[in-house]
Amino acid sequence: MRNAPTILHLDMDAFYASVEQASKPSLRGKAVVVGGLGPRGVVATASYEARVFGVHSAMPMAQARRLAPNAAYLVPRFSLYRAVSDQVMALLRELSPLVEPLSLDEAFVDLAAGGTAWDAESARQTGLRLREDIRAATGLAGSVGLAASKMLAKIASEEAKPDGLVLIEPGTERALLGPMPVRTLPGVGPATGDHLRRAGITTVEELAEAGEAELVRLLGKAHGQALYAMALARDERPVVAEREAKSVSVEDTYDVDIHDRPRIGFEVRRLADRCVRRLREAGLSGRTIVLKVRRYDFSTLTRSETLRGPTDDPEVVREAAGRLLDSVDTTGGVRLLGVGVSGLADYTQEDLFAQAAKPSREESPEEPVAESAAAPEPAAPHWRAGQDVRHDEFGHGWVQGSGVGRVTVRFETPQSGPGRVRTFLVTDPALRPADPLPLVPVPAGQPGSGLL
Ligand code: TTP
Ligand code: MG
Ligand code: MG
């Protein structure tokens, strides 16, 4: 393990909720809950002001409303969160080429590899400057942990929350970890935690005292050994730059075109299994299943289906690929088949939203769209709490609530200070959905508000 605290872990504070507060001045310092607002919705996150009432991520929304009836309840605006995340990740990449994002709001950075830190002092300075730069670019707070390993850097940023920086001096790791609950260590979830507790082990120190042999007996070889190493604060995992592979895919070209439909189905299932094997070897899972078909005439088309959450389950991939095949005309024969999984991420969070429950099907542009669906009748507009709107007369605002044919809009922008509320008919032609505004004004001379 390196002997300087040059691994940095950044995690933004109450990320979605903080973006909402930065966007909507009237919500600053207030309880804000972001998540699915439908009957089966769950909380994505809550502002620190709302956490005081016990509201937290993954809680059913109905329960959150009982705990914090006066909080603002908002739908997530993923495009804005993603844009802010891109800004933050770009700042991290200025520090080092070795940046490993774990989710939209979180990443490891190897500062030593970037030459931006070599000892505790330079690491602290770099961490402090990063927090300032993030605030300047986005208006938001991120907490920073610095340590000589990934595990400790992540524990440090957790300790630093909210809005802080914690540096763990090499040599002090074990004393620091000792009294912490076993759940602090990566890979110790509720089940392992219970299992260990029944064996009388609740702290990291007790894990270390139990010894490797005992942990292997309790948890099996791989898990037991890994946990023992972590209990001794040994963690050699390197920071790995953003995964090169945005997808994992396999394909086969056939010497002779295949015509037989059951045979094509069989090949697709085989490819799905091979693809999942590759995926698992890389320790990945993914959300989008892609089927590629090249026909006898070399026309190539792809079909994809996005699942509710990432998978590495061969059965799920096989079934999805089979469904996609059902929508492809293979008369005439095929000369190439491929199955891929993309949307690779550890990020499994959006799937918590009930409204994302429907798999969405997309067609790639390679394939001309055969029929253009008849334009549906414009339904009465559906205004969702938190969404951006623009009014011809009053300008930019956001939907505060709607019901009984009315929609209430608060007119404010990230720079405006708290704004006024006005109510309209839901069908008011002067009111339209709008794009989010940048949180920090774009300096003159820079390319537009190309934020989104
Ligand atoms: P986190 O970093 O886990 O949480 P947070 O940033 O809201 O709060 P903090 O780090 O200060 O404790 O997650 C980042 C974002 O990911 C979060 O703002 C919303 C989203 N998310 C979900 O949608 N569902 C979840 O269960 C979790 C944990 C997060
Ligand atoms: Mg966070
Ligand atoms: Mg996070």
Establish whether 11 is an annotated binding residue: yes
On the question of pLDDT at 437 being above 60, the answer is yes
- Domain match, 287 and 352 both: yes
Q: pLDDT per residue over 74-99, tens digit each?
A: 999 988 998 999 999 999 999 999 99
CA-161 nearest atom, ligand 1:
11
Q: How many CB atoms lie within 10 A of CB 19?
A: 28
Domain assignment present for 66: yes
Q: Where are the alpha helices (DSSP H) in 139-203?
A: 150-160, 173-177, 190-198
Domain count, the chain: 4
On the question of pLDDT at 389 being above 70, the answer is yes
- Domain match, 57 and 128 both: yes
Domain assignment present for 446: no
pLDDT at 59: 94
Domain assignment present for 50: yes
- Domain match, 3 and 51 both: yes
Ligand 3 midpoint to CA 142 (Å): 10
Domain assignment present for 151: yes
Pairwise pLDDT comparison (269 vs 238), residue with the higher score: 269
Cα(16)–Cα(77) distance, rounded to whole angstroms?
8
Closest residue by Cα to atom 22, ligand 1, is 44
**Which ligand has the shortest distance to the CA of 81?**
1
pLDDT band for position 184 (cuts 50, 70, 90): very high
CA-353 nearest atom, ligand 1:
23
Instruction: Choose from 19-33, 74-88, 92-106, 356-370 the range with maximum mean pLDDT.
Output: 19-33
Domain assignment present for 438: no
Pairwise pLDDT comparison (350 vs 303), residue with the higher score: 303
Is residue 11 lining ligand 1, measured as CB closer than 6 Å? yes
Cα(266)–Cα(321) distance, rounded to whole angstroms?
11
Closest residue by Cα to atom 8, ligand 1, is 14
On the question of pLDDT at 414 being above 80, the answer is yes
Supply the CATH number for residue 275's domain.
Answer: 3.30.1490.100
Structure tokens at 65: 């409303």
Is residue 349 lining ligand 1, measured as CB closer than 6 Å? yes
Which residues form the domain of 39? 1-171
Closest residue by Cα to atom 4, ligand 1, is 14
Percent of the chain past pLDDT 70, that is, above it, reads 88
> Please, which residues have CB less than 5 A from ligand 3, an ion?
11, 105-106
Contact 144, 137 (CB under 8 A): no
Cα(61)–Cα(40) distance, rounded to whole angstroms?
7
Mutate to test the pocket of ligand 1, among 34, 51, 57 (most ligand atoms within 8 A of CB): 57
Ligand 3 midpoint to CA 353 (Å): 17
- Domain match, 220 and 255 both: no
Closest residue by Cα to atom 10, ligand 1, is 13
- Domain match, 305 and 412 both: no
Domain end, chosen from 171, 188, 210, is at: 171
Q: How many CB atoms lie within 10 A of CB 293?
A: 23
Instruction: State mean pLDDT over 129-142.
Output: 97
Instruction: Choose from 3-17, 27-41, 221-235, 238-252 the range with maximum mean pLDDT.
Output: 3-17
- Domain match, 161 and 215 both: no
Is residue 45 lining ligand 1, measured as CB closer than 6 Å? yes
pLDDT at 446: 60
Cα(273)–Cα(251) distance, rounded to whole angstroms?
12
Q: Which of 130-134, 299-303, 343-347, 411-415 has the lowest average pLDDT?
A: 343-347
Q: Which residue has the tokens 């009984």?
A: 404
Is residue 284 lining ligand 1, measured as CB closer than 6 Å? no
Is residue 95 lining ligand 1, measured as CB closer than 6 Å? no
pLDDT at 243: 56
- Domain match, 140 and 62 both: yes
Supply the CATH number for residue 194's domain.
Answer: 1.10.150.20
pLDDT at 349: 33
On the question of pLDDT at 54 being above 50, the answer is yes
pLDDT band for position 380 (cuts 50, 70, 90): low
Is residue 20 lining ligand 1, measured as CB closer than 6 Å? no
On the question of pLDDT at 22 being above 60, the answer is yes
- Domain match, 351 and 416 both: no
Instruction: State mean pLDDT over 129-156.
Output: 97
Mutate to test the pocket of ligand 1, among 11, 23, 45, 131 (most ligand atoms within 8 A of CB): 45
Q: What angle do CA 29, 433, 56 make, to 5 degrees?
A: 35
pLDDT band for position 452 (cuts 50, 70, 90): low
Instruction: State mean pLDDT over 99-119.
Output: 94
Closest residue by Cα to atom 20, ligand 1, is 44
On the question of pLDDT at 444 being above 50, the answer is yes
> Please, which residues have CB less than 5 A from ligand 2, an ion?
11-12, 15, 105
- Domain match, 188 and 262 both: no
Domain end, chosen from 152, 171, 190, is at: 171
CA-12 nearest atom, ligand 1:
6
On the question of pLDDT at 364 being above 50, the answer is no
Closest residue by Cα to atom 24, ligand 1, is 44
Is residue 105 lining ligand 1, measured as CB closer than 6 Å? yes
Pairs from 66-73 (Cβ < 8 Å, separation ≥ 24) = 68/31, 68/33, 70/31, 71/30, 71/31, 71/32, 71/33, 71/46, 72/20, 72/24, 72/27, 72/30, 72/31, 72/32, 72/33, 72/385, 72/386, 72/400, 73/33, 73/35, 73/37, 73/385, 73/386
pLDDT at 340: 95
Domain end, chosen from 146, 171, 196, is at: 171
Q: What is the mean pLDDT of the chain?
A: 88
pLDDT band for position 279 (cuts 50, 70, 90): confident
Structure tokens at 331: 């008369």
Instruction: State mean pLDDT over 243-263.
Output: 86
Domain assignment present for 369: no
Cα(168)–Cα(101) distance, rounded to whole angstroms?
21
Q: pLDDT per residue over 317-353, tens digit each?
A: 999 999 999 989 998 899 999 999 987 754 333 333 3
- Domain match, 226 and 274 both: no
pLDDT at 30: 98
On the question of pLDDT at 224 being above 70, the answer is yes
Domain assignment present for 326: yes
Q: Which of 16-20, 159-163, 188-192, 433-437 has the lowest average pLDDT?
A: 188-192
Cα(248)–Cα(11) distance, rounded to whole angstroms?
28
Ligand 3 midpoint to CA 9 (Å): 10
Cα(368)–Cα(253) distance, rounded to whole angstroms?
23
Instruction: State mean pLDDT over 154-173.
Output: 96
pLDDT at 421: 97
Domain assignment present for 451: no
Instruction: Choose from 342-351, 371-380, 401-410 the range with maximum mean pLDDT.
Output: 401-410
Q: pLDDT per residue over 233-246, tens digit each?
A: 999 888 988 655 57
pTM given for the model: 0.74
Instruction: Choose from 130-139, 328-337, 377-386 the range with maximum mean pLDDT.
Output: 130-139
Instruction: State mean pLDDT over 26-39.
Output: 94
Catalytic residue among 106, 267, 305, 412: 106
pLDDT at 429: 96
- Domain match, 62 and 165 both: yes
Ligand 3 midpoint to CA 13 (Å): 8
**Which ligand has the shortest distance to the CA of 158?**
1
Cα(189)–Cα(205) distance, rounded to whole angstroms?
17
- Work out the angle between the directed axes of helices 212-219 and 190-198 (0-180°, nearest 10): 120
Q: Is 106 tagged catalytic?
A: yes
Structure tokens at 251: 């394909």
pLDDT at 79: 87
pLDDT band for position 447 (cuts 50, 70, 90): low
Instruction: State mean pLDDT over 251-278.
Output: 94
Closest residue by Cα to atom 15, ligand 1, is 15
Q: What is the dihedral of CA 309, 312, 315, 320, to 10 degrees?
A: 50
Supply the CATH number for residue 86's domain.
Answer: 3.30.70.270
- Domain match, 261 and 406 both: no
